[in-house]
A and B are shown apart, each in its own frame.
Chain A
Amino acid sequence: MQDIVKTIQGVPLNHYILLSAIIFSIGVTGVLIRRNAIVIFMSVELMLNAVNLLLTAFSAFSNDPAGQVFVFFIMALAAAEVAVGLAIIVMIYRNTNTIDINVMNRLKW
């Protein structure tokens, strides 16, 4: 375990922050510009995993296990979210035969 922490600390903290920020931005961009529900969903997962990476890095650098415990919670709840989300997408596919979110325009102001 100590080895892993040492390896993580081998890279400066700023690099982790930058990498996470880039991955997070890719996720946000994906959610905003893609039209396929599954791809949007994957982009959301990308955002969550950027957070996981950042938390692990902070946790290793400050020698505090709380951050890594938080990562477990994120993983568990993201799995629950995936289960519900995929069920919703399947339900929509059954009714419309498509998962393109552009057909989701029946409710309009």
Chain B
Amino acid sequence: MNALITISVLAVLVLYLGLYKANKALLPVTLLGLAVALFFTINHWNVFTGPTFNDMMSYDNFAVAFSGITITSTMLILLLSKGYFEKISDHVAEYYSIILFSLAGILVMVSYHNMTMLFIGIEIMSVSLYILAGIRKQDFASNEAALKYFLMGAFSTGFLLFGVALIYGAAHSFDLEAIKMHLETNLQTGQAISPLFYTGVVLMAVGMAFKVGAAPFHFWTPDVYEGSPSLITAFMSTVVKTAGFAAFLRLFATCFYPLHDFWMPVILVITIITLFAGNITALYQNNFKRMLAWSSISHAGYMLFAIVSLGSEASYGVFVYAIAYSAASIIAFAGLVLMQANTGSDSFDSFNGLGRKNPFLAFTLTVAMLSLAGIPLTAGFIGKFIMFSNALSSMHTWLVVLAVINAVISIFYYFRVIVAMYFKDAERAELEIPLNFKVVLAISVVATILIGIWPAFLPNVI
């Protein structure tokens, strides 16, 4: 709770700093405020007593864990943004504060206990992101990304809300616990559950699948990710995706759990389509940024595993996977930002010969690609391992076989980057890596390898 207040106040404070032209103070104040929010979040661990604010919010360990990841990833991404937004426009303070507002929405999304708060959280996050996607006002790609994201986001919100309305009509409540009670009593007494409820669950699944970018509702993702400024894309594909899955999991793992047999096949089909659509299309990309967009779709597929199998490890699986995926993506996007700033290109060829000139950057990118591909001794492997073993224990053998095939496919496009860096020669100057990039790259690489070698390092916090 204190974290949410800190971040909201911080966003307004940053706006005032911009008003008084204190541009130098923006980044330090934002990072300091986020550190305070992170401290409050961690401080809240294991003190959960029950939902607060008239049962609107519940700050349980699940909320603490996911708030922790999202705040930390945001700090790392903001650390990369030193000097980045200044190139886009003079009004720098607004970017920081919109990102912070978006983060406030995300904290609501991961800790809701009522459909109202789910809706409000998603909207606070999305409306901020529509602005961030279109922040390059003169750039046509950015405009297009903003419009597509806005229209698709508003469209999916419509589905989500219609689902909420139908569930309200059947269960007469927006409270997650009350809806679950309604389902359980109906199932126990043998009363039929209203068809409105079933329709509502499907519509909500569609709305959430839109938000996390799962196929067949993924078509906006590559365009939006490619058109937005790279750091905003990094924010969308790590923090926003993690929050989307936390919200998805909380809704389906707790509230709709009694209807698992009904909605599981729906999510199963979505998962399989997402895996194949993401991985196969990523194979054909020549642009690194667009490849990352498609790979984020395929990772959405792996994270959906947790919702399909819903074992006792489901939340922990998403937690580990989100950390692994966020750390690797932040490295990849940091490399992309450096590459765009220095060569102006984001094709695979622009990475040629990087291994000789910038060994450190090439090494970190290699670790990131290995982690995304799920090679052992990286965090990505541990994330996939927990997801797959979870799915196996709930008898989804075929799903795991298909997923392993997809993991093999994904190795091809991730290794293209490594091959370009180490085995292709090109005349190039050494890239200058600023200190803040070095810090972020080092933190992410250490986290990736540490979790990969010693998974118990991450306690089961949920």
- Residues on A lying within 8 angstroms of B by beta carbon are 17, 20, 24, 27-28, 31, 37, 40-41, 44, 47-48, 50-51, 54-55, 58, 62, 64, 66-67, 69-70, 73-74, 77, 80-81, 84-85, 88-89, 91-92, 95-96, 101, 104, 106-109
Contacts and interface: CB of A to CB of B under 8 A. Distances in A.
A92 B138 CA distance: 9
Contact of A77 (B120, B155, B158, B226): B120
A85 B116 contact: no
B146 interface: yes
Contacts of B143: 88, 91-92, 95-96
Contacts of A55: 165, 168
A71 B148 CA distance: 26
A88 B173 contact: no
29 contacts: A17-B169, A17-B196, A20-B165, A37-B151, A41-B154, A44-B155, A50-B162, A54-B162, A54-B166, A54-B169, A58-B168, A66-B173, A70-B119, A73-B116, A73-B120, A74-B119, A77-B127, A80-B123, A80-B127, A81-B123, A84-B150, A88-B143, A88-B147, A92-B143, A92-B147, A95-B143, A106-B140, A106-B141, A109-B284
Contacts of A92: 143-144, 147
Contact of A64 (B154, B164, B172, B284): B172
B134 A88 contact: yes
A45 B141 CA distance: 26
SS class, residues of chain A in contact with chain B = helix
Nearest to B169: A58
B313 interface: no
Contacts of B155: 28, 31, 44, 47
SS class, residues of chain B in contact with chain A = helix
B349 interface: no
Interface of B: 115-116, 119-120, 123, 127, 130-131, 134, 137-138, 140-141, 143-148, 150-151, 154-155, 157-158, 161-162, 164-166, 168-169, 172-174, 196, 222-223, 226-227, 281, 284-285, 290
B162 A51 contact: yes
A62 B172 CA distance: 7
Nearest to A47: B158
Given A31-B155, A107-B226, A85 B123 contact: no
